[in-house]
Amino acid sequence: ASPLAQRLQAEREALPIYKAQRAITDEIMRHQSVVIVGETGSGKTTQIPQFLDAAGLTQQGIIAITQPRRVAAISIAKRVADELGTKLGDKVGYSIRFDDTTSPSTKIKYMTDGMLLRELLSDNKLKRYSAIILDEAHERTLRTDILFGMVKAIQKERKDLKIIIMSATLNAERFSQYFDNAKVIYVAGRQFPVRTFAAVQRQEDYVDAALVATFQLHMEEPRGDILVFLTGQEEIDNLQKLIEENARNLPPKCPKIIVTPIYAKLPADQQAKVFEPTPPGTRKIILSTNVAETSITISGIRYVVDTGMAKVRSYNSKIGMESLVVQPISKASARQRSGRAGREAPGFCYRLYSEEAFDSLPEDSEPEIMRCNLASVILLLKASGVDDVVGFDYMDRPSRDSIIRALEQLYALGALNDDGRLSSLGRQMAELPLDPVYSKILIQSKAFKCTKEVISIIAMLSVDLVFYTPNDKREQAGQARKRFMNYDGDHITLYNVLKGYQSVHGDAGWCTENFISGRSLKQALDIRKQLVTFAERMGIDTSVSCGTDFDPILKCFLTGCFQNVALRTPTGEYKTMIGNQTVFIHPSSVLFGKKPVAVLYNELMHTTRQYMRNISVIQPQWLLECAPQYYGRGEAPAAR
């Protein structure tokens, strides 16, 4: 065997789970469903599919392993392919939205929970699979929760299907009960003590506090890598720049620093860096979202800096409004985070919040299904043949209100008929790998004759952070942005950026000159290509353009985003049409500082205030024209 294969084999054998291979395999073969609980890093995700393969289960069908996060699916599939000494896409592959590396010879398939849900549309008994492993079950993401109910129902008719629920925390009873008292297997973990230090009080600016804590650890503590938990890409990019700027002023005898970010939308080729061994005389600082909490394990970490915050979806079912909120994590998450410092040796965790703040945290976070818009999963349920979405076997039942809001929204989008069944438009919408709102917009673009533009804009909205602004070049970055700016708003501006990028064939120099993230643009172009394929398959001509009159584009967006509208009040504030909430134009918008009468937005983001992001100017009279099912009931819009 090659030196790499030998090293990987040695690493496998050192995992706590390795010795339990026989016992685990036997239990799974003997039972229809099992729940496996084991410390993060014990080897569940990488090893158990290989155990089942060795036991012959892949001869009866593919093994699916779902992950809530795409980064985890990608990086773990690569790892397992390496361990088996095969090429990614042969025996082992991954499948995530807009990126499928599997082939007919793939037997172990890592995939996002959303992708498996989507496969139910074409294979409603999951016939290709011999086992479904629902991993990271403790996270209770919306899509994993729906899969619990779907696979349970499928197994009633397919006794041969194995269901394996894997969790990093000790909440196995809940899962076991739900799956008809499934057998629970505990995998012994290995965990060294972690000393935890709490701040005296929560710092106002936790990114800054993280910077200070990181440098303090770096200057004072012996070797070992540092893992910093933040809430999203923007913060991670900021802190990376701050660390790199400050690292230049370190005393010469201080070890060098390398900073590696890891977050959901980081392109696959950039992710590998975080797993590369740290060179001697260097300290690696990993800046991560909660993906490094339990989904992926990075070796070499001895120190954790925990901001205590995470970005989560939040939904107000009374008014049907969803937004992203940065909020304190749960105690369970805080413990997981500190645990990451003690996997290989005793470690140290620095919490940037006080002990009292920790005590006041909730024990566990609420399942996502209780706090998000259900429209997309209800559309998928309906399209998979589940008509009674109220009577569905939920592990935790969402509120009646939120189910009704979702049905109303789908009805207003035209996805449901008067009798609540899926319409033919709804069926088409379910086939697109997009949120129902964007599926509707893409399909409607045919009628508005602006498909070319709409596909580009949807692709651009799917990537994060198109523009970047270096601290020392604010002026130039602002000037560069003006080249693309369109006063109708961010949508057309984004379109201009992608058009510019296409016209120079993705030239890297052009991106640098314009302070545009080449990474994001490359990704957007890739997504665009795939959306074109989907649209053409539906008989939509994707070359149809509206030319220089942009109104059709914004009207087309309103046919989907009709709920995301805000009107200016006489005092100059903005109020949302649903819920009458006060919202603000985000400083990143080209409309910042302007005061249009009415705007549509694509996202609400709650930081210090409730901000709208990706905003464009609309005419209020378009509402009736574009969303008559929603605005045409004779009520004044403000009454909604």
Decide: is 33 part of the binding site for Mg ion (CB under 5 A): no
Closer to ligand ADP by CB, 79 or 143: give it.
79
By a kind-dependent CB cut-off of 5 to 8 A, residue 446 interacts, out of ligand ADP, Mg ion, none, with none
> What SS3 state is found at 287?
strand
Question: Tokens standing for 462?
Answer: 């799917």
Closer to ligand ADP by CB, 130 or 297: give it.
297
> Which one of 23-31, 70-78, 527-535, 591-599 is the stretch in contact with ligand ADP (CB under 6 A)?
70-78
Distance CA 229, CA 353 (A): 13
Decide: is 65 part of the binding site for ligand ADP (CB under 6 A): no
Amino acid letter at 520? S
CB of 245 to ligand ADP, least distance (A): 29
Token pair 């269901």: residue = 163
CB of 298 to Mg ion, least distance (A): 12
By a kind-dependent CB cut-off of 5 to 8 A, residue 466 interacts, out of ligand ADP, Mg ion, none, with none
Distance CA 440, CA 450 (A): 14
Of 21, 33, 42, 45, which one interacts with Mg ion (CB under 5 A)? 45
Closer to ligand ADP by CB, 285 or 553: give it.
285
Site string for ligand ADP, 223-242 (x = CB under 6 A): --------------------
CB of 6 to ligand ADP, least distance (A): 15
Of 79, 162, 202, 340, which one interacts with ligand ADP (CB under 6 A)? 79
CB of 236 to ligand ADP, least distance (A): 19
Distance CA 327, CA 69 (A): 19
Decide: is 93 part of the binding site for ligand ADP (CB under 6 A): no
CB of 95 to ligand ADP, least distance (A): 17
> What SS3 state is found at 562?
coil
Closer to ligand ADP by CB, 40 or 602: give it.
40
Distances (CA, A) of 560 to 374, 410, 442, 544, 545: 16, 10, 9, 19, 19
Decide: is 45 part of the binding site for ligand ADP (CB under 6 A): yes
Nearest to 371 by CA among 437, 436, 327, 313: 313
298 DSSP 8-state letter:
-
Question: Tokens standing for 499?
Answer: 């058009």
CB of 64 to ligand ADP, least distance (A): 15
Distance CA 514, CA 512 (A): 5
By a kind-dependent CB cut-off of 5 to 8 A, residue 76 interacts, out of Mg ion, ligand ADP, none, with ligand ADP
Distance CA 420, CA 413 (A): 12
> Which one of 71-79, 137-145, 209-217, 328-336 is the stretch in contact with ligand ADP (CB under 6 A)?
71-79
Decide: is 44 part of the binding site for ligand ADP (CB under 6 A): yes
The string over 473-512, giving b where at least 16 C-beta atoms fall within 10 Å of a residue's C-beta and e elsewhere, is eeeebeebbeebebebbbbbbbbbbbebbeeeeeeeebbe
Of 70, 78, 340, 452, which one interacts with ligand ADP (CB under 6 A)? 78
Closer to ligand ADP by CB, 16 or 114: give it.
16
Site string for ligand ADP, 598-627 (x = CB under 6 A): ------------------------------
CB 306 within 8 A of CB 229: yes
Question: Tokens standing for 362?
Answer: 């909730």
> Which one of 73-81, 401-409, 414-422, 572-580 is the stretch in contact with ligand ADP (CB under 6 A)?
73-81
- Beta bridge partners, 24, equal none
> What SS3 state is found at 275?
helix
CB 19 within 8 A of CB 46: no
Q: Who's near 622: CB < 8 A, 6+ residues apart?
A: 554, 555, 558
Distance CA 512, CA 535 (A): 32
Backbone angles phi, psi at 510, to 5 degrees: -60, -45
Nearest to 535 by CA among 456, 634, 628, 632: 456
- Number of residues that this document lists for the chain: 640
Closer to ligand ADP by CB, 11 or 387: give it.
11
By a kind-dependent CB cut-off of 5 to 8 A, residue 560 interacts, out of ligand ADP, Mg ion, none, with none
By a kind-dependent CB cut-off of 5 to 8 A, residue 231 interacts, out of ligand ADP, Mg ion, none, with none
CB of 18 to Mg ion, least distance (A): 15
Closer to ligand ADP by CB, 65 or 236: give it.
65
Closer to ligand ADP by CB, 40 or 317: give it.
40
Decide: is 302 part of the binding site for ligand ADP (CB under 6 A): no
CB of 171 to Mg ion, least distance (A): 15
Residues 243-282 that bind ligand ADP (CB under 6 A): 275
Of 21, 24, 34, 46, which one interacts with ligand ADP (CB under 6 A)? 46
> Using alpha carbons only, how large is the chain's radius of gyration in Å?
25
Distance CA 249, CA 42 (A): 39
Decide: is 40 part of the binding site for ligand ADP (CB under 6 A): yes
Of 50, 66, 75, 564, which one interacts with ligand ADP (CB under 6 A)? 75
Amino acid letter at 172? A
Binding site for ligand ADP (CB under 6 A): 15, 38, 40-47, 75-76, 78-79, 275, 297, 299
Q: Which residues here bind Mg ion, judged by CB under 5 A? A: 44-45
